Amino acid sequence: MRPWEAPFATAHLPGTGGRTRESLGDFLVEEIPLYEPCGAGEHLYLRLEKQGIATLEAVARLARALGVPRQAVGYAGLKDAAATAIQTFSIQGASEAAAAGLDLPGLRVLAVARHRNKLRKGHLRGNRFHIAVRGVPAGAEERARAVVEVLARRGVPNLFGRQRFGSSGNTHLLGRAVLAEDGPAFFAALLASLPGEAGAASLQRLQAGDAAGAGDLLPQGFALERRALQFLSRNQGDFTRTLRRFDRTLKDLYVSAFQAEAFNAVLRARFERYDRLLPGELAWLHRNGAVFLVEDLDAEQERAERLEISPSGPLFGQKTARPAGAAAELEDAVLEGCGIGREAQAAAAALPPGARRPLRVPLRDCVLAAAGDALSLSFSLPPGAYATAVLREIVKGSPDEG
């Protein structure tokens, strides 16, 4: 099973079928800010409409256009490139007039205001999604409503979606290699992820011991990979040193994809009862994101049935809280199967801090409407949750690949 796949929580109900993302306007996500800019301070808050580009590419374009380092640009969350996103970025040290007058491909400035602090990951109340599913049959609205009723009652399985694992679907393998400091495995996965035949040809040349020649085979647009192979060649095939010098931001993203793979594996292991607490559970309090050890299982299960709290799973790391009892036994076994058990974590080169994540999230303010052969959906999810976790249940397909 691929790392983003899982059973359906509503397998007993038929899906609507249909096609998603026929155009960028068919998938709109709008950030719900945690706070509004106060109007004063050294950081500009830009509310932007972003189309067809990833968040990190938007960061790079903003930094270049405004003459600031990338580190001066902040954002609250990553948004999919294959969508329209209304998203806020903070920029330190830029001219307000220059920011308001930006004219960049894929980016449109909606508002500019000042605030005192940099926007950081997690500075979100949630996201509101507006999605069109096209080519649905008659009765699709009724089918969708039946699915939504179940998800509103049980919660939405909090799967990391397909986009979390990169365009090639293998960034978790890169993250695994980063933590193990396995340079050959890292470059094998990196080159295998490139489109077309160039990546395979480059990998074959690299495995023959010709790193410089491997870089020469890469087409334009893969400058980072080419530079890494050139560095590897200059350092006489020292994979470990080359991996350590590789772009830190990208390596962090790869490791986070590995965390996502392991979390999804824990969720799959509990999928039939993802809304039920286990003995020793670390429960997630939806009101404020606090995590606590469940001591009175029966009493806390009543709160879980009201979706006040939920079971949680691990984003493995140095500071990830560990459950007890049956919850710990299950979690340990799954992480071991993913290759990141307790011994592997202790030996990892640069283990991230880690965290807990709820196994499910509440579905809020869902609105459905059908017109012809199109179904429109609007709903809100907490930060970090994927709209595709809702869509896959409604469509009974793979909206990430539709």
pLDDT at 172: 97
Residue 59 pLDDT class (50, 70, 90 cuts)? very high
Rounded to whole angstroms, how far apart are CA atoms 113 and 402? 37
Mean pLDDT of 260-287: 97
Mean pLDDT of 287-314: 97
> In the block, which residue shows the tokens 């960049």?
104
* Three-class secondary structure of residue 392 per DSSP: helix
Residue 402 pLDDT class (50, 70, 90 cuts)? very low
pLDDT at 399: 63
Query: Of 26, 80, 275, 400, which residue is the catalytic one?
Result: 80
pLDDT of 364 over the 50 cut: yes
Mean pLDDT of 245-263: 95
Rounded to whole angstroms, how far apart are CA atoms 90 and 164? 23
Q: Which of 29-33, 162-166, 218-222 has the highest mean pLDDT?
A: 29-33
Mean pLDDT of 262-287: 97
pLDDT in tens, 193-214: 887 788 899 999 999 999 999 9
β pairing state of 84-92 and 27-33: parallel
Which among 116, 43, 115, 128 has a CA at the least distance from the CA of 87?
Answer: 128
Which among 357, 297, 364 has a CA at the least distance from the CA of 331?
Answer: 357
The enclosing H or E element of 187 equals helix 183-192
pLDDT of 111 over the 70 cut: yes
Mean pLDDT of 27-47: 96
pLDDT of 121 over the 50 cut: yes
Angle between helices 171-180 and 248-269 (to 10 degrees): 110
pLDDT at 7: 96
Token pair of 297, please?
Answer: 């299982």
pLDDT of 400 over the 70 cut: no
pLDDT at 272: 94
> In the block, which residue shows the tokens 């580009």?
53
Backbone angles phi, psi at 367, to 5 degrees: -125, 130
Which among 239, 248, 265 has a CA at the least distance from the CA of 350?
Answer: 248
pLDDT of 152 over the 80 cut: yes
Mean pLDDT of 1-12: 95
Which among 80, 16, 28 has a CA at the least distance from the CA of 393?
Answer: 16
Percentage above 70 pLDDT, the chain:
99
Percentage above 90 pLDDT, the chain:
89
pLDDT at 212: 93
Q: If 0-12 CB within 10 Å is exposed, 13-18 middle and 19+ buried, where does residue 165 land?
A: buried
Task: Give me Rg for the CA atoms of the chain.
Answer: 22
Which among 53, 49, 92, 37 has a CA at the least distance from the CA of 70?
Answer: 92
Q: Across the chain, what does the average pLDDT equal? A: 94
pLDDT in tens, 309-352: 999 999 999 999 999 999 999 999 999 999 999 999 999 988 99
Rounded to whole angstroms, how far apart are CA atoms 280 and 108? 49
pLDDT of 363 over the 90 cut: yes
Question: Known catalytic residue: 238?
Answer: no
pLDDT at 401: 43
Which among 278, 324, 282 has a CA at the least distance from the CA of 301?
Answer: 278
Q: What is the 3-state secondary structure (H, E, C) of 202-241?
A: HHHHHHCCCHHHHHHCCCCCCHHHHHHHHHHHHCCCCHHH
